A and B are shown apart, each in its own frame.
Chain A
């Protein structure tokens, strides 16, 4: 095991960095996507509800690995057929898109549920004071919804971090993919995967501890 750590230590740390980069990028975009489709699903507009439902159902209905293949291999091929011959996606771009779309659908559901958990009277009180729907949402409903959403968002954060490993299939040099490389070079599968597993675990456990602290702090003001 020490042989692997000594020889591949920097490579593993770099790979961990890539995993975290992919996670963070995806989470940022997923929050935006989730906010948009979540709000669409909460509102009264039938059209928006329809679009929101289609998105959530479509993305949740497709395994992430299929989505990743589709975006990394399928989309450039399609673009070529449409005449954009030099359209290419890097593994990071394709990975970020696939993961953001996937995580965004779950975020949309978390955000919808969070907003719906806020008593209807809060919206009515805001509107009765002359505030617009948007202002009431932004100033009154969403701030209260966020508190109930935090545990689910943290959970989704951890799932997304683990899901980055699926993107090893499109050749993105994140932790799992790097594990494959090391194993190919050394044939020490037990040690390699133990190390990779521990690295994921350390990061995730640390993050969930931090998250618990944040959650506790937010709830204190309640």
Chain B
């Protein structure tokens, strides 16, 4: 693992909202091609940690280096860094006034990363991949939750990111739609995408994660392979949490 390129390096990250200290002292690394799953009870700070990685939340203290850029440095062009970090949200956040194709092509065309034609072609290929080729001209309101989330993933992929962040991607879905989204994520993992995933899907973590990080109350309590953390947890708090969700 050590000879692989380090994609994300978090050192002593702290994040407070007013007086509430959500992240107390977080250090972690993510290597190229690795799938890291963040687990923990709600309020443990896992979503906040994820959102700090692309600076949707600004860190209160500590250092985050992504793709070689110090994103906690005010002089870093955060927009440039974000082009390479895709994010998938719990509530999809598709642009409601645009159809699927425009949702996907808006950013790369506006940022002049692709021509309109290139963007469209790439978008159609990606839609094919997530099984939604026939939905290219549909509006988000015409899609099911699972379809929306697959479009959201395709939209993130359209930017050709090095890293994908997933913030509880299946939590807002009806149970029968969880599978189709997880299938796309598994495929991405198999292709070597670097992924950081906040999820409650223990099964996904067990099957796909290279590493599981268990968080509670703003700290990393335990981390290791899914085998270590999920099957043989050492920390009492991890054991307690797993006994409740499994």
Contact = CB atoms under 8 A, between A and B. Distances in A.
Nearest to B103: A125
A49 interface: no
Nearest to B108: A129
Contact of A144 (B82, B89, B96): B96
A124 interface: yes
Interface string A194-222: 00000000000000000000000000011
Contacts of A122: 93, 95-96
Interface stretch (A59-67, A72-80, A89-97, A130-138): A130-138
Contact of B141 (A129, A130, A132, A222): A222
B95 A128 contact: no
B79 interface: yes
Contacts of A131: 79, 107, 110-111
A130 B107 contact: yes
B54 interface: yes
Contact of B82 (A119, A121, A129, A222): A129
Interface string B84-101: 011101010111110000
Interface in A114-157: 119, 121-122, 124-132, 135, 139-140, 143-144, 147
B101 to A, nearest CB: 15
Contacts of B222: none
A192 B174 CA distance: 66
Interface in B135-159: 141, 155-156, 159
B194 to A, nearest CB: 16
Contact of A128 (B56, B91, B97): B56
Contacts of B86: 128-129
The size bracket of the interface on A is 20 to 34
Nearest to B159: A129
Contacts of A127: 56, 79, 82
A128 B164 CA distance: 11
B87 A128 contact: yes
Contacts of A124: 56, 87, 89, 93
A140 B87 contact: no
Given A121-B91, A139-B106, A130 B56 contact: no
B111 A130 contact: yes
A108 B87 CA distance: 32
Contacts of B168: none
Count chain A CB atoms within 10 A of each CB in B96, B141, B155 and give the residue with the most.
B96
B80 interface: yes
Contacts of A119: 91, 93
Contacts of B61: none
Given A121-B89, A129-B82, A144 B97 contact: yes
Contacts of B94: 125
Contacts of B56: 124, 127-128
Contacts of B96: 122, 144, 222
B106 to A, nearest CB: 6
A119 B95 CA distance: 10
A121 B172 CA distance: 14
B83 interface: yes
A128 B82 contact: yes
Interface string B20-61: 000000000000000000000000000000000010100000
B109 to A, nearest CB: 10
Interface of A: 119, 121-122, 124-132, 135, 139-140, 143-144, 147, 221-222
Interface of B: 54, 56, 79-80, 82-83, 85-87, 89, 91, 93-97, 106-107, 110-111, 141, 155-156, 159
Across the A-B interface, give the 10 residue pairs with the lowest CB-CB distance, nearest first. A130-B83, A125-B93, A129-B107, A121-B93, A128-B87, A130-B82, A130-B79, A144-B97, A143-B97, A140-B95
Given A125-B94, A130-B111, A222-B96, 12 more contacts: A121-B93, A125-B87, A125-B89, A127-B79, A128-B54, A129-B82, A132-B79, A135-B110, A139-B106, A140-B106, A144-B96, A144-B97
